[in-house]
Amino acid sequence: MDVSPRSTTIGLAGLGNLGLPLAGTLVRAGWGLAVHDTVGERAEPVVALGAKAVPDAAALAERDVLVLAVPDDAAVEQVLDVYLAADRPGRAVVVHSTVLPQTATRLAEVAAARGVELVDAPVSGGAERAESGTLTVMAGGEPAAVARVRPLLDTIGDPVLHVGPVGAGAAAKLANQLTMFANLAGVYEAIDFATAHGVATEALLTALETSLGDSWIARNLDFWDRTAAAYDRSGTPVRDRPWSKDLAEVVQAARAADVPVPLAGWLAQTVAARVEARAASAR
C-alpha cells in the first residue's frame, strides 16, 4: 500500500498538547483523518477543519494507518490492541508518543504477527512546530516500513530522521529529553546563583545569548511556562508531563539496558517540581 493523502486514510488517537496540532497539520495537508480522544470535545477544532471525530478507538480500525499521540506506554498498548483486533493485514502504525524502547520493540513484534508494520517515531519541537509541520521526527523501524510512511512523516516533520530499528526512535527521543532537561536544570541553577549575587534574570539571559553558555533552553525559558499552562488547560496530570514521565522512563530504560545514568536519576527527582513552581509563579 502506497501512503499518500489521495489514497490513504489515517486514524489519530490522542488530541492533547501534541496530538491536536498534529491533527490540524495533517488535515490542512489533505490527509483523510479520523480522530479520537477520551475527552470528546477536544476534537472540535480539527472537526471544524474537516476531520471526522469517532466515538471510540475501535472506529479507527478501518483506517489504513493508525497514528498514536496518546500519553504513555499503557495508552499506546491499549489503542493498538483495539486496532489489531480487526484482522486487516497490510496496515501501518506510527507511534509519536514517547514510550520505552522495549515497549516499542515488543509492540512492533505483536503488530507484525498480525501483518501490521509499526514505526516508532517520537517527535520534538512542541506544539508550535507541530502546527507548522516542522517537528524533528526520530523514526525507528525497518527501512522499508519507514519509507512507506515517509510521506506522512514529512507532513509533520522537518527534519525526518531514520535513527535505527524499532525502539531506536524511542531511545533517541529519551536521550533528547535527558539532554534538554539537564540543560534546563542548569539554567535554573544558574539563575539562582546569579540572583543571589544581584544579577537580574533578564540580564543574565541576555549575557548568555552571546556567551558559551548560550542554548535554546536559555533563549526560550518561557516555553516551559507556556507548556505547563497548556497542560493545565487540558487537565494533564503532572505525572504525565514530559518533565516527569519522560525522565522516569529514561531511568527505567537505562536500568533495562544496564547503563548508569546518575544525572537522569537526580533530574527525575527534581526537575518536575522546579518547572511547575516556576510556571505557577508566571501565571
94: which DSSP letter? E
- For residue 261, give the nearest of 185, 179, 186 by alpha carbon: 179
Q: Which three cell numbers stand for residue 211?
A: 556567551
The answer to whether the beta carbons of residues 51 and 33 sit under 8 Å apart is yes
Catalytic residue among 129, 162, 173, 245: 173
- 199 three-state secondary structure: coil
How many angstroms separate the CA atoms of 92 and 107, rounded? 12
245 given a catalytic annotation = no
CA 153, 4, 71, 22 dihedral sign is positive
Q: Letter for the amino acid at 197?
A: H
CA-wise closest residue to 94 among 114, 62, 63, 117: 117
Q: What is the dihedral of CA 80, 81, 82, 85, to 10 degrees?
A: 120
Number of C-alpha atoms within 13 angstroms, CB side, residue 148? 20
- For the record, the C-alpha cell of 233 comes out as 488547560
E strands, the chain, in order: 9-13, 32-36, 52-53, 65-68, 92-95, 117-120, 123-124, 135-140, 157-164
Positions annotated as catalytic residues are 173
